[in-house]
Amino acid sequence: MKYIIYFGLMLAFVSCQKEDLSFEITNPANFKRYDEPVFIDINKLPDDITAATYACFVGEKEIASQLIDKDGDGNKDALFLLLDLMPEETIKLLIKKVDKKSDYKTRANVRFGKRKPPYDEINSYQRVKTNDSIKASALFLMEGPAWENDRVAFRNYYDERNGIDIFGKRVETMVLDSVGIDGTNYHKLSDWGMDILHVGKSLGAGAIALQVGDTIYPIRDLQNSQYKLIEDGPLYASLKLIHNNVLIAGRKYNIEQLISIYGGEPYYISDVYISGIQGDEKFVTGIVNTHSDQLSKVNIGSLMIFSTYAPQAEDKKNLGLAIMINKNDFDSVVRDSFPTKNIEETYMISMNLTKDKPVNYRFYAAWETGFSSFRNENYYTSFLKREAEKKSTPLLVK
């Protein structure tokens, strides 16, 4: 009998373990961390996490969370949170089944809308085969898909240009659902902010290019390109730009760019997958330098930061722009004398390509009109260094 009782207790214990799961999350650094991203692999979560309702708690306080598809393959694969931790602090995170989650503040958003009322959301649309911005703006709000968090917003020109632009924000609320509708002009400063970057023929805010042999080709003039929404908040948002049969130097490549953004910091993350590489290619991205005469480079831990700080914003104010990459991926800073196919006014960074592995980078945009602390270049530089320190010493999840 005692064995039956023991077995019953064990079943009850296992059942409890399935429904209530705890993690210890530690900040190993000697500095505070606010809105620090946490990804918990779905394989470490309850088996019914995608079907049942679970919420996260620290003590009695519910913490906003979101189940996400991190790699963009169509399947949920991680639980995402944003946490605040003091230096060297360890907190206990409890995940338990609930009847209903709280309503969480929206801190990340994707918007791809039709230009005409009622501005319906676009789920699927072939990229426009023209570099004429007038045609793109006649079809789409903001000329293409846009993504934002509570610090900054970006947009992709959904035509042959395939550029990336920046909307500077002055508010923490989500604004893209109303930007570009009739009666508004995002080229003029408003309460929420404005379009702050002149992209032209540059790589703008981290647009993509490919070096084949001794020439760099922007990923433009696309004949078969689609958009796919992956996640749409409230904490984490992502989209995928899919380019099939991209013809470069007589070769064909398939290129997918997974773009993600989450609350708290003024950057987006880009993961670029390229199939069809033959071994003599390099991936290239860059920062527009229309009004900048210096590119700074800093190595911190396992990361490298390339940054500018200059009056590059359309309101003539200072704008800090930066790209953060893994040190092992770095190849070179491309000099102006290197031949390109119609890329102008750009600091270009080339990165090594590995078969079946994405190229990863973060693009930062810090506008002084949006957040007054970025009026100071020393603060901006210190901010980027701290960002690299955080990424080099990630939170420990046990």
The DSSP string of 78-97 is: EEEEEEEE-TT-EEEEEEEE
pLDDT band at 11 (very low <50, low <70, confident <90, very high): very low
| Alpha-carbon separation of residue 398 from 18, 69, 79, 301 (angstroms) | 16, 21, 14, 23
Distance between first and last Cα of the chain: 37
Residue bearing tokens 């993504």:
147
Q: What is the mean pLDDT of residues 70-94?
A: 96
Model pLDDT for residues 340-387, shown as the tens digit of each residue: 888 999 999 999 999 889 999 999 999 999 988 999 999 999 999 999
Model pLDDT for residues 95-143, shown as the tens digit of each residue: 999 999 999 999 999 999 999 999 999 988 889 988 888 888 899 999 9
Sorted by sequence, the CB contacts under 8 Å of residue 312 that are 6+ apart come out as 197, 288, 289, 290, 291, 292, 318, 319, 321
pLDDT band at 2 (very low <50, low <70, confident <90, very high): very low
Q: Please name each of the domains of the chain with its CATH number.
A: 21-96 (2.60.40.1180), 108-397 (2.70.98)
The predicted structure's pLDDT at residue 364: 98
Q: Look at 135 and 12; give whichever has higher pLDDT.
A: 135
Sorted by sequence, the CB contacts under 8 Å of residue 48 that are 6+ apart come out as none
Q: What is the mean pLDDT of residues 172-192?
A: 93
d(CA 179, CA 345): 28
Summary mean pLDDT of the chain: 92
Model pLDDT for residues 201-249, shown as the tens digit of each residue: 999 999 999 999 989 999 998 989 999 999 999 999 999 999 999 999 9
pLDDT band at 19 (very low <50, low <70, confident <90, very high): low
Nearest 5°: CA angle at 200, between 231 and 266?
40
Helix (H) or strand (E) holding 13: helix 2-19
d(CA 313, CA 53): 44
pTM across the whole model: 0.93
DSSP string across 157-168: -TTTT--EEEEE
